[in-house]
Amino acid sequence: MTVADTVAPLVHAAVGSEVPLRIRGWDGSVHGPSEAPWQLNLVNRRGLRRLLWAPNDLGFARAYVSGDIDIEGDLLAGLDALERVSDPSRGPGVRIDAQTKKALVIAALRLGIIGPPPKPPAEEAKLARGNRHEKARDAAAISHHYDVGNDFYRLVLGESMTYSCAYWPHHDVDLEQAQFAKCDLVARKLGLRAGMRVLDVGCGWGTFALHAARNYGVQVVGVTLSHEQADYARKRMVEEGVGESVQIRVQDYRDVDDGPYDAISSIGMAEHVGVAMLPRYSADLFALLEPGGRLLNHAISRRPGKPNTFSKTSFIDRYVFPDGEIEPLSTMIEALEGAGFEVRDVESLREHYALTLRAWVANLEANWDQAVRLSSAGRARVWRMYMAGAALSFSGNRLGINQVLAVKCAERGRSGMPATRTELLRSSAPDS
């Protein structure tokens, strides 16, 4: 029996027989329809050995990242087909039950893949010791994800260099325009006006800081734990002519002590805080604001209930966002209100993030060879898999993303906020 014919029943038991999947073995054998949207290439025996030792998402991730198993074709279409026959609460992914594990062992003997566990790929996270969300460990986790090369990120993110959900006010704008539209949406919700002092927590490569300083005449302090992001952002501010208006620091949000600020933006950063630290995060930002100051917290959320991602055997935790924690929207709101904030506006951008991720996947695939040269084949594979899977998670409402606008009321509960969302978005406008 060929490799493809031996493996095919196991693959279909794990992912469903309805999935139009084609399998190619290392012996050249093929099983499945030629018109399938994707093909699973078993490059060598080691890929199946990885699954034998870790018959879960982590084992599959290790095999894919190392190149021992390859996925050829339209990845989004393949994952979408898989999603339609998957447990909706889990989303796309490999599911291997006890019966399949037994069959895998029998097939392993037949295929000669028994052996010691292969070494994990170099791209797997190796975090600093210590408890989750201690400062040194947080810095290591951020470095793992963000310090992989600014040129690599430019290929994926585009010229805006913005690594968060874009905002499509209408469908005939491109990714870069949508990212700047998001920055302007944040600026208007914060009510930015010339002369204000703004803190940008998790400033990334400085896109929002640049937009706010250049278009609204504010002074911005941006903080990040990534040295590569900080170096890029500092040079960017000088080149764009706002070097005197924007200060970029490599600094933990817990160490910012030079308040008060008139407004604070936190865009795509709270996911790294951790649920146990959300009360501290909220209290620290509350203390840094002037009375009447606003916070815009832009963060991913998950559906209520027990979390099913970011575990120690998760592809996301080991390869993408070490120590990341995504919580329901209600958890974030409870932390903000517990710190003293009044939550004034909540807006979901879930469909916008699905569009953003699809654009990033398209950028990566269009520039694949260059992306591999700038990082590694394994790193490019990690980003392709996680962004495609995330796009479907947002489309399928397993993940959400929300902008929560909160205010630190002044004495006697005065918020200084407009009474309606229409007035809110009109109350601040870029400098002409």
Is the bond leading into 169 cis (omega within 30 degrees of zero)?
A: no
Alpha-helical (H) ranges within 112-226 are 135-146, 150-157, 175-190, 207-216
**Phi, psi angle pair for 186, to nearest 5°:** -65, -45
The pLDDT value given to residue 371? 94
Helices (H), 85-174: 98-111, 135-146, 150-157
Mean pLDDT for back-to-back runs of 10 residues, the chain (432 residues): 88 72 94 88 93 81 92 81 52 56 78 91 73 73 72 94 95 95 97 97 97 98 94 97 98 96 96 92 98 98 74 71 85 98 98 96 96 92 90 93 97 91 80 54
Distance between CA atoms of 224 and 164, rounded to whole angstroms?
14
| Domain 135-426 fold | Rossmann fold (3.40.50)
Q: What is the pLDDT of residue 179?
A: 98
* Exposure of 38 in the CB half-sphere (CA atoms within 13 A): 15
Residue 136: name the closest of 278, 323, 297 by CA.
323
pLDDT given at position 427: 67
Instruction: Identify residue 303 by its one-letter amino acid code.
Output: R
Q: What does the pLDDT read at residue 314? A: 75
pLDDT of residue 129: 64
Contact (Cβ atoms closer than 8 angstroms) between residue 271 and residue 324: yes
pLDDT of residue 175: 97
Could you say which of 3.40.50, 3.30.1050, 3.30.1490, 3.30.70 is the CATH number of the domain covering 3-111? 3.30.1050
Q: What pLDDT, in 10s, does the model give residues 140-163?
A: 766 766 667 899 999 999 999 999
Predicted pLDDT of residue 310? 44
Residue 205's CB: how many other CB atoms inside 10 A?
A: 27
Domain locations along the chain: 3-111, 135-426
- Dump pLDDT digits (tens) for 23-49: 999 999 999 998 888 889 999 999 989
Whole-number pLDDT of residue 92: 43
Pair 234, 248: CB distance under 8 Å: yes
pLDDT for res 95: 52
Q: What is the CA radius of gyration of the chain?
A: 23
- Which candidate, 39, 44, 96, 94, places its Cα nearest to that of 67? 44
Using the 8-state DSSP alphabet, how is residue 120 labeled?
P
